[in-house]
Structure formats: structure tokens, C-alpha cells
Amino acid sequence: MGQVLRRENVADFVQKLHQSGKTVVTTNGCFDILHVGHVRYLQKTKSFADYSIVLLNSDKSVRSIKGPSRPINNEQDRAEILCALSCVDYVVLFDEDSPRNLLDEIKPDVYTKGADYTMETLPEADVMRKNNIRVEFIEFVQGKSTTSTIEKMKQ
């Protein structure tokens, strides 16, 4: 079972993992209403390293990105649900709209993002290049998204 790490401790924690020869993969997102697309994405993410860390948008961050009606589930619930997945080792909450600063601090070995991005459109691309972080783009499960789930519920 995964655990939530404090943001101020995560860079030192990852550095210790690296010093012990372990690899770290990170991804980020809101993970508001967990669905099969999220689970498959997180399973694939975990396959790239010894440890996976999900950088989870806080409630404040989700509202800034998605609007005042989101998130549906609060950050503590979302973090606990993610920690229950065997493919998630750690979760770190962040308040900014982008995980750029956190990624620059952590310096994971691998960073995953949805295949709707490319290196040319990835907002964190400069951080990836600067820190020599490998990026893996993961295909989405067609028709599975939080937005489509919410729309289905409204009908």
C-alpha cells in the first residue's frame, strides 16, 4: 500500500532512493474520479521504474485548472484511493497548476504523460531536458475519462 509524502521531504527521499540504486518514475494529475483508464495508465507508469510517485493536484490546483465545480472528491480521498493501488508507491500533493517546480526538485528517472502530449507540447519539457529525465507517453483508454464520466452522470 502506498503512502503520502510531504512535499518538503520528497526531494530528499528520492535522492536516498537514487543513492541506493533504485529508479523512480513520476506522473501527475487530478485523478478526480478514478476509472479504468487511470488504473491502466498508472500500471504502465509503474512498469518504468522501481518506485512510482504520483504528483497529485491539490483541491486548490484542481479548482484553478478545472473550475469551481471540481474536484468531485477531495484531495485526501483522492490520495487515499491512489495509495490503495499496488502500482502507486507514493503520492505527493502540490498546489500549483503545473508540477514543473516539483519535478525540478525531485529529478525522477522517468516521467510519464498522456499520449495527447508530445515533447513539443509538453509544458515540462525544459525541465525534462535540463535534468536528463526520460519521458514516456502513454496511450489513453478510448472513451474513459473523468469528464466523460461526469457527463454520463448528468444524463
Number of domains forming the structure of the chain = 1
Q: Mind listing the pLDDT tens digit for each residue in 124-152?
A: 999 999 999 999 999 987 766 666 666 76
- Residue 95: give the domain boundaries: 3-154
Strands (E), 83-141: 90-94, 110-114, 134-138
pTM of the predicted structure, to 2 decimals: 0.92
Whole-number pLDDT of residue 155: 78
The CATH code of the domain that includes 141 is 3.40.50.620
Dist CA 136 CA 45 (whole Å)? 8
